[in-house]
Every structure is written in structure tokens, then in C-alpha cells.
Amino acid sequence: MPLIEVTIAEGRSSEQIRAMIHEVHAAVLRTVDTRPEHIRVIVREVPQSHWATGDVTIAEMKELQS
């Protein structure tokens, strides 16, 4: 039973998240010998203030760009 966990920064719409789940499910179905109902996809959204690269959060990067 494949379990796929995706962690992304918050900010996408419900429609975007749903489309991503669909595409991830389809990719696993194409590449792994399993039944569709056995595939699990979990999406974790992290606040942009809690995700940093090089000691700068995504929220801070956005502030610097504006």
C-alpha cells in the first residue's frame, strides 16, 4: 500500500491541492504495481513563516521582493 507524503508551503487553493493529489495518484498508479484504492496521498501545508532556506523564511523572502 503506497503512502505518499507531500509537504508544501501554504498558499495554494483547494483546487490546486486537489489537482496535485490527482496527478501524484496517477503517477504512482502508472509506476507501481498496486490497485488505485490502495494508494494514499497526504498533503501537509507548512506556514510560510515556518519554512526557511538559508535562514530566510518564505514569508521574509516575499517581503524583501515587494
Q: pLDDT band at 60, cuts 50/70/90?
A: very high
- What the block records as the C-alpha cell of 27 is 503517477
**Is the pLDDT reported for residue 66 higher than 90?**
no
Q: Is the overall model pTM greater than 0.85, yes or no?
A: yes
d(Cα 41, Cα 61) in Å, to the nearest integer?
Answer: 29
Q: Which of 1, 2, 58, 61 is catalytic?
A: 2
Residue 39 pLDDT grade (very low, low, confident, very high; cuts 50, 70, 90)? very high
Residue ranges of alpha helices (H) inside 32-66 are 58-65
pLDDT band at 50 (very low <50, low <70, confident <90, very high): very high
Q: Return d(Cα 3, Cα 35) in angstroms, integer.
A: 13
Known active-site residue 2: yes
